[in-house]
Structure formats: structure tokens, C-alpha cells
Homo-oligomer: A and B are copies of this chain.
Amino acid sequence: MTAPTWLYENFDPAGSAIGFRVTRKLDEVQSPFQKIEIYESTDWGNVMLIDGAMMVTTRDNFLYHEMVAHPALFTHADPKQVVIIGGGDCGTLREVLKHAGVQKAVQCDIDEQVTRMAEKYFPELCASNDDPRAELLFDDGIAYMANCAPGSLDIVVVDSTDPVGPAEGLFNKAFYESCFRALKDDGILVQQSESPLVHLDLINAMRAEMGKAGFATFQTLPFPQPCYPTGWWSCTLARKSGGFEFREADARAKAFKTKYYSADLHKGAQHLPPFVAEALGD
């Protein structure tokens, strides 16, 4: 045990930084794709960094994982077939599998090392990895989506790192075309979409690429996420047609616990702050 020090992520594109007080580095591995580090912190449990960017802390990951999963799954009328692209820490998979109606959830992350690290340092996120409905693949998500049977999926969750490095190809028309083809007509694509304060251009660009691929309607939902730049994050849902009314009664009657998500939170998040709505043309 050494004296605590401060570990920062300097987020150059926005000129802002996030940091945690850490006691020691627990692990580090250079995978074929990226450098993964695990630190023990004084107040946030374990912290995972990928290429120097904060990815997950024990304390605050529930915000992201609940919000990238439940709004989409409660918006779809009856989600059975789910694919998660990325999501190697397995937290999104765990949330998806809380929905009893889900028959199969495939998680396809390019980097097996992320999951091995999560199993060791975030075992609670991997609690559903042995669920018989779960399938964990370690493969290229772009190729996986391109090869999916047309019209076979209800939900695609893109739970990736930022649009640089390995995840860059998950933010363009070609990838979204694969998602569009693989989804049923009433399917939903949901993707983490960075900060509503500093990434409005990126959200607009994502929506434009999704639009070129055929998606017609969009919904961006903001939520707090202290370990990501600005502490304020979002996910964006896209559909081939139709709106984003959600199964509010089902969300209220859900048989599982959530810490951040609720039917009321979901309703509230659907109303964007005026400056965000204006920037997105909503």
C-alpha cells in the first residue's frame, strides 16, 4: 500500500479533465488493441482505463449501464433478440438480461482482455455472463453486424469507447447500414453518444450517418456519469420509423431493481434542455 496519488484523464478535445484518488495500480495489460489499466481508488472502488481514458468505476458505472440498456428495452414492444457491440466489461449485458423477455443477448467485443479484466476486478458486472441466454464473442463488431441475418434483431446496443482507435468504425454509415439491415422493422439501435455539453457536433454527425443508413427517427437521452468527461453523458436511440413512446406501465412494474433508471427518470430524460434540443434540431 503506497500513499494515495491522483490519477487524471486529460480530455484534450474539450480541455477538461476528470480524476480519482488512487492507492495503487492493480493490473496493466497491453492487448492487441489497446492498453488496459486497473487502479484501486480510495472512494470509487476499482477504476478501469483504456488507453488512458476512464472507462468504468465500481461506484458510478450503474448510471451508464442502466441508461444504455433500459430506455431502449422499455421502448421496444417486446425485445427478444439483442446484440451488444463492445460492452466488454459486461455491465450492459447484465442490465439487458434483467429483462425476462430477452431470449438471447450476444455481446461482441473485439478485445477479450477487457472481459478478463472485468471478471477479475468488476465481478459484479459479470454476474450474468453464465446466463444461458448470454453469448460472449470476442470478435470484430463491424464484421459481426455485417454478417447478421437480415431482420433478425430487436435491439442493437453499441457500447463502445470514443470514436477514435478501435471504435472509430462504429460511428459511420457503413456500420449503421449493417445495423439497419440486421434489425427488424420495429428494431432499435442505441449507442453511447458522448457529452451533451461538449459533443453536440458529434451527436449531430452520428445522427446524420444513421440517417444516411436509413434510420428515420432519433432520441438522445442525457444522464450523469462522473467518470466521463464533463460528468454528463448521453445515449442516442434510432429507429427505422415511429416514435419513442415507451412501455411506461411495464417500466413501473419491472421485477428487477435499478439504482438510477425509473419510468419517471426515463420520461424526464426525454425532454432535452433547450440548448441541446436547439443544437440537435429536436
Partner of A271, one of B14, B42, B265: B265
Chain B residues with CB under 8 A of A224:
197, 222, 224, 230-232
Q: Is the CB of B8 within 8 A of A17?
A: yes
Interface size of A as a range? 35 or more
Q: Is the CB of B21 within 8 A of A44?
A: no
Partner of A6, one of B8, B197, B262: B8
**1/0 per position for A31-68, CB-CB distance to B under 8 A?**
00000000001111000000000000001100000000
**1/0 per position for A221-232, CB-CB distance to B under 8 A?**
010111000111
Partner of A268, one of B226, B231, B271, B275: B271
Q: Is the CB of B231 within 8 A of A260?
A: no
Q: At the interface, yes or no: A147 with Cβ under 8 Å from chain B?
A: no
Q: At the interface, yes or no: A267 with Cβ under 8 Å from chain B?
A: yes
Q: Give Cα A19 to B17, complex, Å.
A: 4
**Oligomer: number of copies:** 2
Q: Is the CB of A259 within 8 A of B232?
A: no
Chain B residues with CB under 8 A of A273:
259-262, 265
The majority secondary structure among interface residues of chain A is: mixed
Partner of A17, one of B17, B264, B265, B267: B17
A77 shortest CB reach to chain B, Å: 24
Q: Is the CB of A260 within 8 A of B232?
A: no
Q: Is the CB of A43 within 8 A of B15?
A: yes
Chain B residues with CB under 8 A of A4:
15
Q: Give Cα A90 to B250, complex, Å.
A: 45
Q: At the interface, yes or no: A258 with Cβ under 8 Å from chain B?
A: yes
**Nearest-CB residue, chain B, relative to A258:** B274
Q: At the interface, yes or no: A20 with Cβ under 8 Å from chain B?
A: yes
Partner of A43, one of B14, B222, B259, B264: B14
A9 shortest CB reach to chain B, Å: 9
Q: Is the CB of A43 within 8 A of B16?
A: yes
What are 13 A-to-B residue pairs whose CB atoms are below 8 Å? A6-B10, A15-B20, A16-B43, A18-B18, A18-B231, A60-B197, A60-B230, A224-B230, A226-B231, A226-B232, A231-B231, A259-B274, A261-B274
By Cβ-Cβ distance, the 6 closest A-B pairs, closest first, are A231-B231, A268-B268, A17-B19, A15-B43, A264-B271, A15-B21
